[in-house]
Amino acid sequence: MSRLPAVWTTPADHIRAAVPDRPCLYFSPEALQATARRFRTGFPGLVTYAVKANDALPVIENLVQAGITAFDVASVHEMRRVRSVLPEAVLHYNNPVRSAREIETARVMGVASASVDSFSELAKLAAVFAPGTLEVSVRLKLAVPGAAYDFGAKFGADPETCAALLREVAQRGFTPAMTFHPGTQCEDGAAWVRYIAEAAAIARAAGVRLARLNVGGGFAAHRRGAAPDLEAVFDAIAGAVAAHFGKSPPDLVCEPGRALVADAFALGAGVKAIRDGREVFLNDGIYGGLAETVILGTVDRLDVYSAEGTARTGDVRPRVVFGPTCDSLDRLPGEVPLPGDMAEGDVVLFQGMGAYSSATLTRFNGYGDVDLVTVARTR
């Protein structure tokens, strides 16, 4: 992603000045900082940022300005990137599978916390980190509905294994903690309540007092319909911790990716062609910034702007929408409701596109260049 220094009030202003020839991610630093403040005010514990959702330096910089100083990192590259912005950043290394060399780098970089879901990976940490120098979070997985897809399919241990791991963490002299991830785009606070209840039961069964409980990411962004009620989820989390941990609750940590960053970006994709008045071809698609539409569906918060920067208001009609590559999979799912008066050269602006968009761009078929444009607001 290249960076354009100019600041526009809205994407429409940018389009009006010159219709961009490439897809644009419109970034509102104000929106990002407002969401960060919302988390820091509402969440009853430490708010960290899961860097994988969007590792753009302006994102990290603005989160730091909004008071975020701890980060969930999954790779050495992410560690270095965060520290390049904030040298004293606290690093939580919550990818539970790591090579020996990655663990050595994590020690040198002073990683504060690491998650595990197996005895073999705990032994690898213990071979490098001395007792007392690391918090180790045991990652739990449960079959809990509510999210857009299942995060337990790859990582996490069942409750019995978690209890045994927790005992070994304590025996090895590490600070015991637990973590889970209810699955991304999870709108239902009940998923967190179930996990928190189970984590409390596991800690009791293990006879280990948790220093901290990391309730993961998974918080939903505004993709379709009404905006998710984050505060209701925060309240459910606080209530469950009080109900299940009693007098000595662990300190809480969360590590949202999507919900922190999604709403700070809109994606503008140019209309390359409307083939014989039917199918719409955009200059971005599922191998670019719209990759997630395949799993989560297309956002319903979208507008179409003419080259003059005015919003198309014609009667909505469902259209087949293709991306720019020659792969027939490169199509947005189903049909997308778009204004009937849209034309070649217009820009389709998708709201809420800050997470898992630029982060997963590919170069397939020579596409994948997306410009980052700073705006006061994304609409």
- 255 in contact with ligand PLP (CB under 6 A): yes
Site string for ligand PLP, 276-295 (x = CB under 6 A): --------------------
Q: Which stretch binds ligand PLP (CB under 6 A): 35-43, 195-203, 215-223, 229-237?
A: 215-223
Strands (E) across 38-153 are located at 46-47, 49-50, 70-73, 90-93, 113-116, 135-139
Judged by CB under 6 A, the chain residues 33 through 52 that form the site for ligand PLP are 50, 52
Assess contact for 355 and 27: CB atoms under 8 A: no
Q: Please enumerate, as own/partner, the contacts of 92-97 that have beta carbons within 8 Å and a separation of 24 or more.
A: 92/48, 92/214, 92/253, 92/255, 94/137, 94/139, 94/179, 94/214, 94/255, 96/121, 96/139, 96/155, 97/121, 97/155
Q: Helices in 1-56 by DSSP H: which ranges?
A: 11-17, 29-42
Residue 98 CB, nearest approach to ligand PLP (Å)? 13
Choice from 28, 35, 54, 94 touching ligand PLP (CB under 6 A): 94
Residue 329 CB, nearest approach to ligand PLP (Å)? 24
Per-position b or e across 53-64, b if 16+ CB within 10 A of its CB: bbbbebbbebbb
Q: Which stretch binds ligand PLP (CB under 6 A): 116-124, 242-250, 252-260, 267-275?
A: 252-260
**Nearest CA among 190, 179, 94, 186 for reference residue 141:** 179
Which lies closer to ligand PLP via its Cβ, residue 50 or residue 304? 50
- 53 in contact with ligand PLP (CB under 6 A): yes
Judged by CB under 6 A, the chain residues 180 through 209 that form the site for ligand PLP are 181, 184
Choice from 72, 117, 168, 188 touching ligand PLP (CB under 6 A): 72
Q: Which stretch binds ligand PLP (CB under 6 A): 106-114, 159-167, 257-265, 297-305?
A: 257-265
Choice from 152, 176, 256, 339 touching ligand PLP (CB under 6 A): 256
Angle at 191 between CA 189 and CA 196, to 5 degrees: 95
Which lies closer to ligand PLP via its Cβ, residue 14 or residue 139? 139
Q: What are phi and psi of 377, to 5 degrees?
A: -145, 155
Q: Which residues pair with 372 in a beta bridge?
A: 3, 25
Residues within the interface to ligand PLP (CB under 6 A): 50, 52-53, 72, 94, 181, 184, 216-219, 255-259, 355
